[in-house]
Structure 1
């Protein structure tokens, strides 16, 4: 989901609570805060010596240990207010993919992308997913899309 699409979604549902599902049935705790918004530029070289660059907006979610047991989630209105203030200070790239940085004692810290969202009575639930790694130079490396990651093993002439 692009940053502009995420902001537009928030603007349409300001009266709801904002929840994040980071794994099936697993939600970021109601004690979460938006602690950082990162405008990231990735400048990369893949294993086939191809260069690429892109931008991402990364919103960091952090659960406050002093607010464990809190049941009221951050409202969409409040989250939108935070992101609007950030955008005025450091303009967000609206065409960039928005990701969420999150982790807890049961889930490793990761950058998660928006897989989908759902609207329930008084909730906007953002369904997150882990981005899988991939070989971007399959043609250069001679990797058949149907093959496993073993095709890019060290010493295979690829990667």
Structure 2
């Protein structure tokens, strides 16, 4: 989801609570805070010597240990106010992909993308997902994208493949 799309969804549902589902039926605690918003520029070279360049917006979510028993979630209105304030200080790239950085004691730190969202009477639920790593140079490295890649026999980035 693009940053502009996410902000648009927030604008349409300001009267709701904002929940984040980081895995099926697992939610960021009601004690979360938006602790940082990052404008990230990726300028990369893949294992086939291909270059790429893109921007992302990363919103960091943190659960406050002092508010562990909190039951009321942040309102969409408050989250939108925070993001609007950030945008006035350091403008967000509206067509950049938005991701959420999160971890807790049972879930490793990850940057999660917005897979979908759902609504009920009280809440806007943002459904987050992990994005698996992938070889972007399959053709250059001779990897059949349809074949299952076995770690022992992968040719992408092996010394004899010529792509690394």
Shorter-normalised TM range = over 0.9
**Residue aligned with 2:86, SS:** helix
Query: TM-score if structure 2 supplies the norm length?
Result: 0.94
Name the residue aligned to 1:7. Answer: 7
- Give, in whole Å, the separation in 1 of the partners of 2:53 and 2:17: 35
**Residue aligned with 1:11, SS:** helix
- Give, in whole Å, the separation in 2 of the partners of 1:75 and 1:89: 22
**Residue aligned with 2:73, SS:** coil
Structure-2 change in CA distance of 1:88 and 1:47 (3 Å): same
Instruction: Give yes or no for the alignment of 1:82 onto 2:86.
Output: no
- Give, in whole Å, the separation in 2 of the partners of 1:25 and 1:91: 33
Instruction: Give yes or no for the alignment of 1:106 onto 2:106.
Output: yes
Structure-2 change in CA distance of 1:121 and 1:136 (3 Å): same
Instruction: Give yes or no for the alignment of 1:154 onto 2:158.
Output: yes
Query: TM-score if structure 1 supplies the norm length?
Result: 0.97
- Give, in whole Å, the separation in 2 of the partners of 1:149 and 1:97: 30
**Residue aligned with 1:91, SS:** coil
Number of aligned residue pairs: give it: 159
Name the residue aligned to 1:116. Answer: 116
- Give, in whole Å, the separation in 2 of the partners of 1:73 and 1:113: 20
* Moved segments of 4+, more than 6 Å: none
The question of whether the paired residues in 1 share the 8 Å contact of 2:103 and 2:110 is answered with: yes
Post-superposition offset of 1:156: 5.1
Gaps of 5+ in 1: none
Instruction: Give yes or no for the alignment of 1:37 onto 2:37.
Output: yes
- Give, in whole Å, the separation in 1 of the partners of 2:132 and 2:126: 19
Instruction: Give yes or no for the alignment of 1:60 onto 2:60.
Output: yes
**Residue aligned with 1:4, SS:** helix
1:75-115, Cα deviation, whole Å (9 max, x unpaired): 00000000000000000000000000000000000000000
- Give, in whole Å, the separation in 1 of the partners of 2:58 and 2:109: 13
The question of whether the paired residues in 1 share the 8 Å contact of 2:141 and 2:157 is answered with: no
Q: CA RMSD in A?
A: 1.1
